[in-house]
Amino acid sequence: MEQTITNFSTIPNQEQGPIVKEFKKGRFPVYLIHKNGKPFIIKAFPYIEDKISPNYLNEARFSFLSHPNIVSINGCYEEANFDFDCLGQRSSCIQMEYAPNGDFFDLCITRRICMSDKLARTYFHQLIDALEYLHLNGVAHLDLKLHNLLLGAEYELKITDFDLSHMQGDGKLISRGSKYYRAPELNVGCCIDPPSADIFAAGILLFVFKSRGVLPHTENQSYKGIDLYGLMRNDNDKFWEVHAEIQKKPSEFFSKEFRELFNSMTKTKAHERASIQDIKNSAWFNGPTYTKQELKEVMEKKLMGKNSFDLQPSNS
């Protein structure tokens, strides 16, 4: 599935806004800038041996995506003459919308915000809605993880970072996923069903939402001598029993409906995993969720420290 990128150009210095903040360093630094009085994010891709980064070329293809739970791209520039102190070299850049409320890594790991089933389900609905849109448009993200889920202005979930993503009709996949979130076939480099790999990662994220940042497994490492990944694959009852102990929760913390959904999404064999429609038909998925206004009110209380816990019952 080919898409034409219509906003390829060189961005002149006079169109740049002042750099307000550098969000992260690494292969592709990310900056907050102000342009015409509005905040935007700039993701910079340094040239490689005087050539445009293939990661830039890959991510720029997805500028056509338009969904409320996906960060929108509003500018792709092959050469941007930004005076970034940390770069000091030719770079391409992608300009995208600013999600002002941080990311889910900060939410779940740093702040360890407690989510009721109702709150976790609300965000899971948004994640699945976005994935359904992507997959219907021939796109697989292939690097879903907490860092790549942002909180928008209304505290809605937004998927970002498509530099490793795959489009139907592409040849070899360039993504191996991220440790702890990736499907087993991505880990070993033999993925033939990219959307199914996204389903696996979404299942991991569902578990993390529910478990206040606790991952379901540690891939090829043991946790206090316990092979959680092996249990997840080969002794599922024991897997849930051990996790209740690890998280100091009663066994009913993970409801039958929740376990069934998670298990269906994280099957070892890709062709056995739940489809988007299977997920939407599941019992747990069809429980109560927050409205847009309710979600905003709940998250404002949490992030302002007025309420450390969502007081909805865990099975709500």
Q: Residues with catalytic annotation?
A: 143
- Give the residue carrying structure tokens 């696996």: 200
Give the angle 191-195-196 at the CA atoms, nearest 5°: 70
**CA-CA-CA-CA torsion for 271, 272, 275, 280, nearest 10 degrees?**
180
Q: Report the 10 Å Cβ neighbour count for 58.
A: 19
The long-range contacts involving 234-242, CB below 8 angstroms and separated by at least 24 positions, are 236/263
Alpha helix segments (H runs only) across the chain: 54-60, 104-105, 117-136, 184-187, 194-210, 228-234, 236-246, 256-265, 276-281, 292-303
- The CA distance from 282 to 264, in Å, is 10
Name the nearest CA neighbour of 117 among 263, 241, 237, 283.
283
Phi-psi region of 91 (alpha: psi -120 to 50; beta: other; left: phi over 0): beta
Task: Give the integer Cα–Cα distance in Å for 246 and 257.
Answer: 20
Indicate the DSSP class of residue 302.
Answer: H
How many Cβ atoms are within 10 Å of 176's Cβ, its own excluded?
15
157: which strand partners? Answer: 151
Sign of CA dihedral 243, 129, 6, 197: positive
CA–CA separation, 115 and 209 (whole Å)? 7
